[in-house]
Every structure is written in C-alpha cells, then in structure tokens.
Amino acid sequence: KEWLQEDELPKRYAGFSTCFRKEAGSSGRDIRGIFRVHQFDKVEQFVVCKDDIEESKKMQDQMLEAAEQFWQSLGIPYRVVTIVSAELNDAAIKKYDLEGWFPGQQAYRELVSCSNCTDFQSRAMEIRCGSKKMNQTSASYCHMLNSTLVATGRGICAVLENYQTPEGVVVPEVLRPYMGGMEFMPFVREAKLEKDTAPKGGKNKGGGKPGEKQPKGSKPKPAKKEAAPAPAPAPAAAA
C-alpha cells in the first residue's frame, strides 16, 4: 500500500528481470532456437501517473517512443500495431505491439508490448494518489503502465537475422563499443543442412507412391504378379 502526491507524479522506472513463460497451450510453437524459450531476461519500462486518462495516454505514447528509438538505433525494420479490443486482457484498456522483421521467417514478430492498465493494478495494490477532496468519498487510484524495451533472447535473434551475410554477421554500429570495437563476426563452421526425410530410390514397402504414407493399421499392398508367358506349342510328329 502506498499513497502518492500528485506533485511527485509521474514516476518512471526501468527494470531488468528474469521471466518465465507458461508453456500451456503453446506446445510445438517456435520450438527451435532461442526465439521462444521458457526462461528469458528482459528490460521493462514502468510508469505510475495520476488518475487522468489523457495523462496516462501521453505516458503510453512516450514509452512507445522510447522503444521505437531503441530498435531504430539497432537498425531493425519494424511496424507498430494497435491490438484489437477482443484480444486485450482484463488489465489493459489499450495496447501497442512493436513487431520486428525476421527475414528467416519472412514475417513480423513481436518485440515490444506496451500497455495502459489505468487503475486496474493500482486498485489491487492499493496505490493511491492525491488526498481526499471536498465531497469526495475516497482518494483516487494511480494509473499504471508497462512496456517492454527489449527481451534479450529475441533481440539477439532480430540482430542475427537482419545482419547476417554468407560469411558471418555484421555487428550493428551502436553495439561495437560494447564488443571491443568488433565490426564483424565470421562464421567458424558450416551450417548443418536438414536431411531430406523422403524415401530414396522410389522404394516403398506399402506399395503406394514414393513418399506416400500408408494409413495407420493398414496392411502393405502385395506387389502385383505378372502373368507367366504361355508355353510354346509342341512340335508336330513326323509323318
């Protein structure tokens, strides 16, 4: 429980934390690599402001702008989408997703989620703002907002895919001071190619076409037997 005064708002925070994803209902989704993992780290933005919808909308726009500047600095192509109301959870009244371009998937995938939860969370935690005014039965609750800045694993995926060359990966310019001045990371071994799982040589024990799967419980079809040639006629007896 906390009671904040309006003159000390808004409060802006950035936090780094280890997160754990619930895997229920996502079996088999993005199971390769580090794009979607059970445990990951991320930097999150938080804002606590007064209970004014125009003020919280302004804070949400600023948080989204900070996220855009971060991904622009890395040179990652992206788009911003507004989530339709039917897809929102009970907490947020409005949410933006910043989706980065992943060339390997030929798709935009989520990098940032920016939500305005108004007083949904502050009511649960009893975080109020201001003091009781005349004819007011209770103090108002603060508005609370949150937004991703970067999830480290997915950020690495975005950089590797967008800066990859046949010889290696170009280091984004803004990251070079943190990489000891390194500008390029060459590949040190060849990529493993996926093996073709289709049957070779056209052989199929099931009797169907090469590569055709037989239904479960069905017996292999026997190979067709060719008719034996008719016997040659016996020679005529000598007169």
CB-based burial label for 40 (10 Å; 0-12, 13-18, 19+): middle
Joined together, the tokens standing for residue 181 give 């001045």
**Cis (ω within 30 of 0) for the bond into 220?**
no
Residue 172 CB burial class (10 angstroms; 0-12, 13-18, ≥19): middle
* Nearest residue to 116 via CA among 97, 85, 93, 98: 93
Catalytic residues: 21, 36, 110, 113, 154
Rounded CA separation 30/41 (Å): 18
